[in-house]
Structure 1
Amino acid sequence: MSRARGNLALLSLFLATFVLGSTELVIVGVLDLIAADTGVTVGTAGVLVTAYALGLAIGGPALTAATIRLGRRTLLWISMLAFLLATLTMVVTDGFAFLLVARAVAGSLHGVFVGAAFVAVGSFVPPERMGRAIAVILGGIAVSTAMGVPIGTLVGRSLGWRGAFVAIIAVGAVVLAGLLLLMPAVSTGGAQGLRSQARAAFAPRVLVMLAIGVLLLGGQFTVFTYITPFLLKVTGLSDAAVSGFLLAYGVATAVGTFAGGWAADRDASRALVVANVVLVLALGLLYVAGAVPALVAVALLVWGLVGFGLVPALQYRVATLAGPARDLAASLPASAVNAGIAAGALLGGRALSGSGLPAVVLAGLAMCLACLPLTWLTGRWAAR
């Protein structure tokens, strides 16, 4: 396969994850509209976010296991088609219960697609570029956070929440055509059988790496879930300034994801350790200088660069430590990330209700600091 064709295949995967990320997060900007349309409270509508995350964390690996013998190219287009149909169900249904089920199903298909994409790139990207290829796939989600979600929210506020999802489905249909045309055939390691794959995918070394993902993302989302009230009340920013700070954070996140892929190619283990250390320093600065806007801006930019920049290295390490179980293991980091997000939001809420906003930052900092010995220890583990 030529390098140009491989780059086009990577582009199709980038656009696909952009669609997935936009679908996952744009709902936050239209929750009140969905609540009014379905006759539930905004708090109840928020369960739609939880349903998607749980679908991704639990349903993704389950569906991956169920389809382990299916070719990854076939799985990619089938899962994308099913994802678009699940999203279409949201658009045409009137009942909240159906919305909830559709979101959970879409989350599961999101997890299947991302895991299959990580396996697929291994068939047309040389090993020395795998980290950057992983970053391209994750970059679609990062860019959707910085661009797709604000644009989708604008469409939703103008044309109704269903209009936002119709726009996503339209883009997704084009992406699906690109996948069918550009993705090469990809072999699967499923011939080894689910039992042998599961044994390697859930080996202790892999589980420790997944625990690192839970802790590092959990620590970040302990803080990020409540970053807006922190910036308003502790830093003293205006609403407009908060939007600017968060936009800068989003751009830094997108840049950091691609930079993290480059770092993973050079040394994934070292990249994780360095990212962990820098993350601790950034959150520490946010805690001690939360009332100084200039220093808070620095903390957010540094945090954005390493916060998701560490995910390509995490994905890379899980795949290499899982060895022949890469097909199944590829879906597990996304589950760990979403489990960390859910746990972080819960921990942040408890810290907030107990001791206030500075305690939220301290709790997230403590979680990331507690993870540092693990990242250092796993750096000594060789790939299988």
Structure 2
Amino acid sequence: MHPSPTLSRTRGNLALISLFLATFVLGSTELVVVGVLDLIAADTGVTVSTAGTLVTAYALGLCLGGPALTAATIRLPRRTLLWVCMLAFLLATLAMVVTTSFALLLAARAVAGALHGAFVGAAFAAVGVLLPAERLGRGIAVVLGGIAVSTAMGVPIGTLVGRALGWTGAFTVIVAVGVVVLAGLLLLMPSVTTAGGGGAARLHPQVRSAFAPRVLVMLAIGVLLLGGQFTVFTYITPFLLEVTAISDSAVSGFLLAYGVATAIGTFAGGWAADRDASRTLLVSNVVLILALGLLYLAGAVPVLTAVALLVWGLVGFGLVPALQYRVATLAGPARDLAASLPASAVNAGIAAGALLGGWALTGSGLSAVVVVGLLMCLACLPLTWLTGRWSANR
């Protein structure tokens, strides 16, 4: 893919801003439910643990439904797919507000997750046309940055609104903001013709290239690195309370610092991916090992724990633009279909990490949780080193 010769830099930047705002809405919708699970449980007559399956439903929808929707819509122009996905996503979110059935709420979350995955894949494909190759990593980081900033800012604000106005109030505000963002997409996103858009692509060759062994290895790296992180991060609050022994009020400060570091790291990771995506992945893997190692060895020391969280935050999602870049490069002509796969790998890693962390916690305690996450990142290191030797033409 090459940037359109008729597209001005200003128009391209405005289109990127619209994508950033859209992924901010998507990310806020995905995670704000965590802050209001008890309210949802009370209103729908289920337990809090049952309400927690809303998180699982969304992740599975994104992981499985995102690539399926991308494959089914591979002939559509990416601009059309973007606004259709955003409109359908807002309708699915609105359905969460008006339904009184937990089963329908669960289904709406799964549908929203699938639309989220398809939107992000289309956004990455569009970035390849909006920007020249030397700025592709930074463009990917802008798209991912919306999700990172939603974690640092959108989710806490949405949770605050949800606690004040009820959980339906939080989702109503998200829908209202999303309508404005949808209008921005329609106004600012130019028509983009990508490798898979416009009706010319055949699905079978794309599937063969998108799921080539070297692409699958890159996706395995995403599963391991995000799985290792979320093995620990899922249980970071009890770790901070029990091992680091800080107060409840201090926990939110530690997590806010981590969230801000994550947002900064995502944008920095895009810049690094443009310079050398393979090296960025390798360095990030090594730094993650060091950060989790510090957390294990010095988790009882608040200052060193804070340092570990800040370093972890900078590289934890900062590696994702490089992962996306490498998958797109190695997939070659199937990059449009492959664009949705790293998000699926990331969510598969998150789901697997949370499960492994729970098993480790039940069996051996909080320190074991950190050990399992650390071992996953260590196991990934040979893969990140090996794939760094692969070129797009191999």
Q: Note whether the superposition's TM-score is higher than 0.5.
A: yes
Q: Are 2:48 and 1:37 equivalent residues in the alignment?
A: no
Asked if 2 retains the 8 angstrom alpha-carbon contact of 1:263 and 1:271, the reply is: yes
Q: In structure 2, what is the equivalent of residue 199 of structure 1?
A: 208
Equivalent positions of 1:1-384 (< 5 A) are 1-190=7-196, 191-384=200-393
* Counterpart residue type for residue 167 of structure 1: V
Partner SS state of residue 192, structure 2: coil
Q: In structure 1, what is the equivalent of residue 3 of structure 2?
A: none
Partner SS state of residue 374, structure 1: helix
TM-score normalised by L of structure 1: 0.99
Unaligned runs of 5+ in 2: 1-6
* Counterpart residue type for residue 230 of structure 2: F
Measure the CA separation in 2 of the matches of 1:35 and 1:240: 25
Partner SS state of residue 94, structure 1: coil
Q: In structure 1, what is the equivalent of residue 4 of structure 2?
A: none
* Counterpart residue type for residue 199 of structure 1: R
Deviations 1:347-366 (A, max 9, x none): 10111111100000000000
Partner SS state of residue 235, structure 1: coil
Measure the CA separation in 1 of the matches of 2:40 and 2:245: 31
Asked if 1 retains the 8 angstrom alpha-carbon contact of 2:129 and 2:194, the reply is: no
Give the percent of matched residue pairs that are identical in Structure 1 and Structure 2. 84
Asked if 2 retains the 8 angstrom alpha-carbon contact of 1:271 and 1:310, the reply is: yes
- What is the CA-CA distance between 1:124 and the residue it aligns to? 1.6
Asked if 2 retains the 8 angstrom alpha-carbon contact of 1:70 and 1:188, the reply is: no
Asked if 1 retains the 8 angstrom alpha-carbon contact of 2:194 and 2:336, the reply is: yes
Deviations 1:194-222 (A, max 9, x none): 10000000000000000000000000000
What RMSD over aligned residues (CA atoms) do the two structures have, in Å? 0.6
Asked if 2 retains the 8 angstrom alpha-carbon contact of 1:225 and 1:348, the reply is: yes
Measure the CA separation in 2 of the matches of 1:92 and 1:241: 36
Partner SS state of residue 300, structure 2: coil
* Counterpart residue type for residue 159 of structure 2: T
- What is the CA-CA distance between 1:186 and the residue it aligns to? 1.3
- What is the CA-CA distance between 1:342 and the residue it aligns to? 0.5
- What is the CA-CA distance between 1:2 and the residue it aligns to? 1.0
Runs of 4+ in 1 over 4 A off after TM superposition: none
Measure the CA separation in 2 of the matches of 1:216 and 1:188: 29
* Counterpart residue type for residue 159 of structure 1: L
Asked if 2 retains the 8 angstrom alpha-carbon contact of 1:287 and 1:358, the reply is: yes
- What is the CA-CA distance between 1:188 and the residue it aligns to? 3.4
- What is the CA-CA distance between 1:4 and the residue it aligns to? 0.9
Deviations 1:130-186 (A, max 9, x none): 000000000000000000001001111111100000100011000000100111111
Length, aligned pairs only: 384
- What is the CA-CA distance between 1:383 and the residue it aligns to? 1.4
Measure the CA separation in 1 of the matches of 2:201 and 2:158: 42
* Counterpart residue type for residue 50 of structure 1: T
- What is the CA-CA distance between 1:14 and the residue it aligns to? 0.2
TM-score normalised by L of structure 2: 0.97
Asked if 2 retains the 8 angstrom alpha-carbon contact of 1:68 and 1:188, the reply is: no
* Counterpart residue type for residue 321 of structure 1: L
Partner SS state of residue 69, structure 1: coil
- What is the CA-CA distance between 1:241 and the residue it aligns to? 0.9
Partner SS state of residue 217, structure 1: helix
Measure the CA separation in 2 of the matches of 1:123 and 1:333: 19
Measure the CA separation in 1 of the matches of 2:53 and 2:365: 24
Unaligned runs of 5+ in 1: none
Asked if 2 retains the 8 angstrom alpha-carbon contact of 1:17 and 1:137, the reply is: yes
* Counterpart residue type for residue 54 of structure 1: L
Measure the CA separation in 2 of the matches of 1:110 and 1:230: 31
Partner SS state of residue 123, structure 1: helix
Deviations 1:40-75 (A, max 9, x none): 010100000000000000000000000010000000
- What is the CA-CA distance between 1:189 and the residue it aligns to? 2.5
